[in-house]
Amino acid sequence: MLLALAMATGAPLWAGEVRLLKDGTTVATGERLGFDGRYYRLLGPYGEVTLDGAALICEGDCGAVVPRIRISGEGGVVAAILPPLLETYARRRRYDLSISVDEGRDIYAFARDGDAVGEIALSPTSSAEGMADLIADAADLAVSLRPVTVPERDMARLAGRGDLTQPGRIAILALDALVPVVRLGSDRTTITLPDLRAAAEGAGALHLPARDTGAGEALAARLPWFYPATGGMAVEHDDPAAVAAAVADTPGALGVTLFSALGDAQALALTGPCGAVAAARVATIKAEDYPLTLPVFLYAPARRLTGIGRDFVDYATSPAAQPVIRRAGLIDQFPEAIPFAGQGDRLGRAILAAGPEVPLDRLRAMVSDLIGLTRLSLSFRFENGSTRLDAQSAANVSLLAEALERGLFDGRRLLFAGFSDGDGPASGNRSLSVRRARAVRDAVAEAVPAPDVRLDAAGYGEALPMACDETLWGQRVNRRVEVWLD
3-state SS, residue 187: coil
Whether 358 maps to a domain, the answer reads: yes
> Which domain CATH number covers 388?
3.30.1330.60
Average pLDDT over residues 444-454: 87
- pLDDT at position 6 is 38
Q: Does 229 have pLDDT greater than 60?
A: no
User: Alpha helices, DSSP H only, in 318-425?
Assistant: 322-327, 344-353, 360-370, 391-405
Please check whether residues 206 and 238 belong to one and the same domain.
yes
> Which domain CATH number covers 38?
2.30.30
Q: How confident is the model at residue 182 (pLDDT cuts 50, 70, 90)?
A: very high
More confident of the two residues 457 and 450 = 457
**Burial bucket for residue 38 (CB in 10 Å: 0-12, 13-18, 19+):** middle
User: 222 and 144 in contact (C-beta within 8 Å)?
Assistant: no
389 beta partners: 382
User: 326 and 416 in contact (C-beta within 8 Å)?
Assistant: no
Q: How confident is the model at residue 385 (pLDDT cuts 50, 70, 90)?
A: low
- pLDDT at position 279 is 92
- pLDDT at position 352 is 67
Torsions phi, psi for 208 (to 5 deg): -135, 155
User: In the chain, pLDDT over 90 holds for what percent of residues?
Assistant: 44
Which residues, including other chains, have CB under 8 Å from residue 391's CB and lie 6 or more apart? 147, 167, 170, 172, 295, 297
Select from 60, 92, 107 the last residue of a domain: 60
> How far, in Å, CA of 219 to CA of 199, rounded?
14
Please check whether residues 376 and 418 belong to one and the same domain.
yes
What is the DSSP track for 236-266? EESSHHHHHHHHHTSTT-EEEEEGGG-TTEE
In this structure, is the dihedral angle defined by the CA atoms of residues 260, 265, 266 and 271, taken in order, positive or negative? negative
Which residues, including other chains, have CB under 8 Å from residue 399's CB and lie 6 or more apart? 319, 333, 334, 335, 378
Please check whether residues 193 and 268 belong to one and the same domain.
yes
Please check whether residues 89 and 199 belong to one and the same domain.
no
Which residues, including other chains, have CB under 8 Å from residue 94's CB and lie 6 or more apart? 112
Total count of domains within the chain: 4
Residue type, position 154, single letter: D
Average pLDDT over residues 240-249: 94
> How far, in Å, CA of 67 to CA of 70, rounded?
10
What is the DSSP track for 66-102? S-EEEEEEEHHHHHHTHHHHHHHHHHHHT-EEEEEEE
- pLDDT at position 2 is 32
Q: Does 448 have pLDDT greater than 80?
A: yes
More confident of the two residues 54 and 257 = 257
Lowest mean pLDDT among 184-188, 224-228, 243-247: 224-228
Q: Does 268 have pLDDT greater than 90?
A: yes
> How far, in Å, CA of 173 to CA of 82, rounded?
10
List pLDDT tens digits, range 62-86: 866 677 899 999 998 999 999 999 9
35 beta partners: 40
- pLDDT at position 270 is 93
Q: Does 304 have pLDDT greater than 80?
A: no
Q: Which of 437, 385, 447, 381 is nearest to 414 (CA)?
A: 437
User: 120 and 86 in contact (C-beta within 8 Å)?
Assistant: yes
> How far, in Å, CA of 64 to CA of 107, rounded?
16
Strand-strand pairing, 206-209 and 254-258: parallel
> How far, in Å, CA of 356 to CA of 364, rounded?
15
List pLDDT tens digits, range 126-155: 999 999 999 998 999 999 999 999 999 999
Q: Does 389 have pLDDT greater than 80?
A: yes
Whether 330 maps to a domain, the answer reads: no
Whether 209 maps to a domain, the answer reads: yes
What's the alpha-carbon Rg for the chain, to the nearest Å? Answer: 26
Whether 293 maps to a domain, the answer reads: no
Count other Cβ atoms within 10 Å, centred on residue 170: 21
- pLDDT at position 7 is 41
Q: Does 201 have pLDDT greater than 60?
A: yes
Q: Is the peptide bond before 228 cis (omega within 30 degrees of 0)?
A: yes
- pLDDT at position 422 is 82
User: 248 and 444 in contact (C-beta within 8 Å)?
Assistant: no
**Burial bucket for residue 392 (CB in 10 Å: 0-12, 13-18, 19+):** buried
List pLDDT tens digits, range 338-371: 887 776 667 776 776 666 777 778 888 888 888 8
Which residue segment(s) compose the domain that 189 sits in? 175-286
Please check whether residues 441 and 365 belong to one and the same domain.
yes
Please check whether residues 346 and 461 belong to one and the same domain.
yes
**Burial bucket for residue 356 (CB in 10 Å: 0-12, 13-18, 19+):** exposed
Whether 266 maps to a domain, the answer reads: yes
165 beta partners: none
Lowest mean pLDDT among 130-144, 161-175, 291-305, 349-363: 349-363
Select from 60, 85, 103 the last residue of a domain: 60
User: In the chain, pLDDT over 70 holds for what percent of residues?
Assistant: 92
Whether 329 maps to a domain, the answer reads: no
Q: How confident is the model at residue 305 (pLDDT cuts 50, 70, 90)?
A: confident
> Which domain CATH number covers 196?
3.40.190.10
Q: How high does pLDDT run on average in the chain?
A: 86
The DSSP call for residue 15 is: T
Please check whether residues 157 and 270 belong to one and the same domain.
no
Which helix (H) or strand (E) segment holds residue 314: the answer is helix 307-316
Whether 292 maps to a domain, the answer reads: no
More confident of the two residues 326 and 307 = 326
Please check whether residues 158 and 217 belong to one and the same domain.
no
Average pLDDT over residues 374-403: 83
Give the global pTM: 0.82
Torsions phi, psi for 275 (to 5 deg): 95, -5
User: 234 and 208 in contact (C-beta within 8 Å)?
Assistant: yes
Please check whether residues 348 and 470 belong to one and the same domain.
yes
Strand-strand pairing, 413-419 and 454-459: parallel
Q: How confident is the model at residue 386 (pLDDT cuts 50, 70, 90)?
A: low
Please check whether residues 181 and 135 belong to one and the same domain.
no
Please check whether residues 109 and 184 belong to one and the same domain.
no
Please check whether residues 372 and 477 belong to one and the same domain.
yes
- pLDDT at position 418 is 93
Whether 291 maps to a domain, the answer reads: no
